[in-house]
Structure 1
Amino acid sequence: MEATRISVDFGTSHTVAMLWVPGREPRPLIFDGSPLLPSAVYAMPDGRLVVGRDAWHAGSSNPAGLEPHPKRHIDEDNLLLDGREVPMEAVVAAVLRHVSLEADHVAGDHVDTAVLTCPASWAGARRDRLEAAARTVFGTVTLVAEPVAAARHHLAHTPVAGAGHVLVYDLGAGTFDASVLACLPDGRVELVASTGLDDAGGLDIDAAVVDHLGETLAARDPERWRRLAEPADRSDQRSRRQLWDSVRTAKEVLSRTATTIVHIPLFDEELPLGRERLDELARPVLDRTVALCRDLSAAARSGPLLGIFLVGGASRMPLVRTLLHQTLGVPPSAVDQPELAVAEGALAEPLPVPTEAWPPVAVTTPIPLARRGRRRLVAAGATVAVLVAAAGAVWIGTREDRPPPGDAQRTPTPVASVGGASPTPTPSPSASPLIDPCLVGVWISTNYMITNYIDGIRTQFNGSGGTVKTFRANGTFVHDYNRSAANTARVSGDNWRQLTRGTITGRLRSVGGKLIPSNTKASGENAWFKNGRRVDTIKMGADPTPSSYFCEAESLTEYTDDYHVDFKRQSG
Structure 2
Amino acid sequence: MSDKPVLVIDVGTTSSSAVVVSGDSATLVPEPGTGLRGWPSAVYWDGEQMLVGSPAEQRKRSDPTSYGTEFKRGLAADTPNVLGRRRFRPIEQVAAVLVALRTEAERRYGGRIDRAVITVPATYAPTPLGPTAAGPTDTRRAQMIAAGEAAGFETVELLPEPVAAAFAPVSGPPLTSGDLVLVYDLGGGTFDTALVRIDERRHEVLGHAAIDDGGSDIDALLAAQIHSDGQQWLAPLLRAAAATPSAPATLRLGMAVTEFAQRIKHRLSDAPTVEDYLMPDAPAYRLSRTELASLATPLLTRTVECCGGLLDTLNIPAHQIDSVLLVGGGARMPAVTDTVRRVFGRPIRTVDDPELATVFGAARWLAHSGPRTVPAWSSPERTAPLSFGIPGGSTRLLRWLVRPGEVYSAGTRLARTRLPGGAIWDLTAATPGTLERLLVEPGTDVTSQDWLALARH
Q: TM-score, normalised by structure 2?
A: 0.65
Measured after TM superposition, the shift of residue 184 of structure 1 is: 5.9
Alpha-carbon offset, residue 342 of structure 1: 0.8
2:263 aligned residue (246, 249, 256): 249
Q: Secondary structure at the match of 1:193?
A: strand
Q: Which of these residues, 310, 315, 325, is aligned with residue 309 of structure 1?
A: 325
Q: Which residue of 1 aligns with 2:120?
A: 118
Aligned position for 2:361: 345
How much has 1:305 moved relative to structure 2? 1.2
Q: Say whether the 8 Å CA contact 2:194–2:205 is kept in structure 1.
A: no
Could you list the runs of 5+ residues in structure 1 that have no partner in the other structure? Answer: 359-411, 414-572
2: CA distance, partners of 1:263 / 1:244: 13
Q: How many residues align?
A: 355
Counterpart in the other structure of 2:409: none
Structure 2 distance, partners of 1:235, 1:128, is: 37
- 2:203 aligned to 185, 188, 194, which one? 188
Encode CA deviations 1:46-77: one digit per residue, 9 max, x unaligned. 5x444223345566555565543332333467
CA contact (8 A) 1:180 1:194 kept: no
Counterpart of 1:18, as a letter, is V
Indicate how the Cα distance of structure 1 residues 312 and 229 shifts in structure 2: closer, same or farther if over 3 A, else same: farther
Structure 1 partner of 2:10 = 9
Q: Quote the residue 1:518 is aligned against.
A: none
For residues 249 and 67 of structure 2, what CA distance do their matches in structure 1 show? 21
Select 2:343's aligned residue among 299, 304, 327: 327
Is this contact kept in 2: 1:56–1:68, CA < 8 A?
A: no
1:142 matched residue in structure 2: 157
- Contact kept, 8 Å, 1:311 with 1:338, in 2: the verdict is yes
Could you say if the C-alpha distance between residues 119 and 291 of structure 1 is closer, same or farther in structure 2, counting changes exceeding 3 Å? Answer: closer
Indicate whether 1:290 and 2:291 are aligned.
no
> CA separation of 1:251/1:68 partners in 2, compared to 1, >3 Å: closer, same or farther?
closer
* The structure with more helix, counted as a fraction of residues: 2
Amino acid at match of 1:22: G
Shift of 1:309: 1.7
> 1:130 maps to which residue?
144
TM-score normalized by the length of structure 1? 0.53
Residue pairs, 1:422-461, within 5 angstroms: none
Shift of 1:45: 4.0
CA separation of 1:94 and 1:158: change in aligned 2, threshold 3 A: farther
The yes-or-no answer on 1:170 pairing with 2:185 is yes
How far residue 242 of structure 1 moved from its aligned partner, in angstroms, is: 2.5
Query: Any idea what the Cα deviations from partners look like across 1:157-207, whole Å, max 9, x if unmatched?
Result: 7543354632222223344333333446863222513132x3x44344345
Does structure 2 retain, via aligned residues, the 8 Å contact 1:239–1:265? Answer: no
Structure 2: give runs of 5+ residues left out of the alignment: 128-138, 374-389, 393-419, 422-457
Residues 159-558 of structure 1 correspond to what in structure 2 (within 5 A)? 159-161=174-176, 163=178, 165-183=180-198, 187-196=202-211, 198=212, 200-210=213-223, 217-218=230-231, 223=235, 227=239, 234-235=248-249, 238-265=252-279, 268-302=282-316, 304-349=320-365, 350=369, 353=372
The answer on whether the counterparts of 1:224 and 1:267 sit within 8 Å (CA) in structure 2 is: no
1:310 CA displacement: 1.6
Q: CA offsets per residue over residues 466-518 of structure 1, 9 Å max, x none?
A: xxxxxxxxxxxxxxxxxxxxxxxxxxxxxxxxxxxxxxxxxxxxxxxxxxxxx
**Structural mapping, 1:39-188, within 5 Å:** 39-43=41-45, 45-46=47-48, 48-56=49-57, 66-75=67-76, 79=80, 90-123=92-125, 124=127, 125-136=139-150, 137-154=152-169, 159-161=174-176, 163=178, 165-183=180-198, 187-188=202-203
Q: How far apart, in 1, do the equivalents of 2:233 and 2:66 lie?
A: 38
In structure 2, what residue type is equivalent to 1:170?
Answer: D
C-alpha spacing 1:109/1:237, structure 2 compared with 1 (3 Å) = closer
Is the alpha carbon distance of 1:64 and 1:353 closer, same or farther for their aligned partners in structure 2, counting shifts above 3 Å?
farther
Pairing 1:553-564 to 2, within 5 Å after superposition: none
Does the C-alpha gap of structure 1 residues 318 and 61 become closer, same or farther in structure 2, counting only changes over 3 Å? closer
CA distance in 2, matches of 1:241, 1:110: 37
The superposition leaves residues 63-103 of structure 1 with CA deviations (integer Å, 9 ceiling, x where unpaired) of 56554333233346784655556676654333212111111
Distance in 2 between residues matched to 1:276 and 1:27, nearest whole Å: 35
Distance 1:243 1:262, change over 3 A: farther
Distance 1:89 1:215 in 2: 35
Aligned match of 2:38: 36
Q: How far did 1:347 drift? A: 0.9
- Judged with a 3 Å threshold, the aligned counterparts in structure 2 of structure 1 residues 352 and 261 are, in CA distance, closer, same or farther, namely farther
Structure richer in strand, relative to its length? 1
8 Å CA contact 1:117, 1:144 repeated in 2: yes
What SS does the corresponding residue of 2:208 show, helix, strand or coil?
A: strand
Change over 3 Å in CA distance of 1:83–1:120 after alignment to 2 = same
Equivalent residues of 1:239, 1:266 under 8 A apart: no
| 1:313-348 deviation line (CA, Å, top 9, x unaligned) | 121011211221122121222223211111111112
Query: Cα–Cα, structure 1 residues 38 and 223, in superposed 2: closer, same or farther, change >3 Å?
Result: closer
Q: CA-to-partner distance for each residue in 1:263-298, whole Å, 9 max, x for gaps?
A: 143852213333233333333432332233234324
Whether the 8 Å contact between 1:180 and 1:191 is mirrored in structure 2 is yes
When residues 228 and 162 of structure 1 are mapped into structure 2, their CA distance, relative to the original with a 3 A threshold, is farther
Q: 1:287 to 1:85 in 2, by over 3 A?
A: closer
Distance in 2, matches of 1:107 and 1:255, equals 35
Distance in 2 between residues matched to 1:285 and 1:86, nearest whole Å: 30
* Counterpart-to-counterpart distance in 1, 2:37 and 2:156: 22
Q: Which segment drifts farther, 71-80 or 254-263?
A: 71-80
C-alpha distance in structure 2 between counterparts of 1:30 and 1:214, whole Å: 33
Distance in 2 separating the partners of 1:336 and 1:14: 17
Structure 2: which amino acid aligns with 1:109?
A: G
CA drift at 1:213: 5.3
Are 2:13 and 2:188, in contact at CA under 8 Å, matched by a contact in 1?
no
Change (3 A) 1:229 1:206: farther
Q: CA RMSD in A?
A: 3.7
Report the Cα offset of residue 107 of structure 1: 1.3
Per-residue deviation, 1:134: 1.9
Q: CA deviation at 1:226?
A: 5.1
Query: Higher relative contact order at CA 8 Å, sep ≥6: structure 1 or structure 2?
Result: 2
1:517-549 deviation per Cα after TM superposition (whole angstroms, max 9, x unaligned): xxxxxxxxxxxxxxxxxxxxxxxxxxxxxxxxx
Cα gap change, 1:30/1:21 in structure 2, threshold over 3 Å: closer, same or farther? farther
Could you tell me how far apart the structure 1 residues matched to 2:237 and 2:50 are?
39
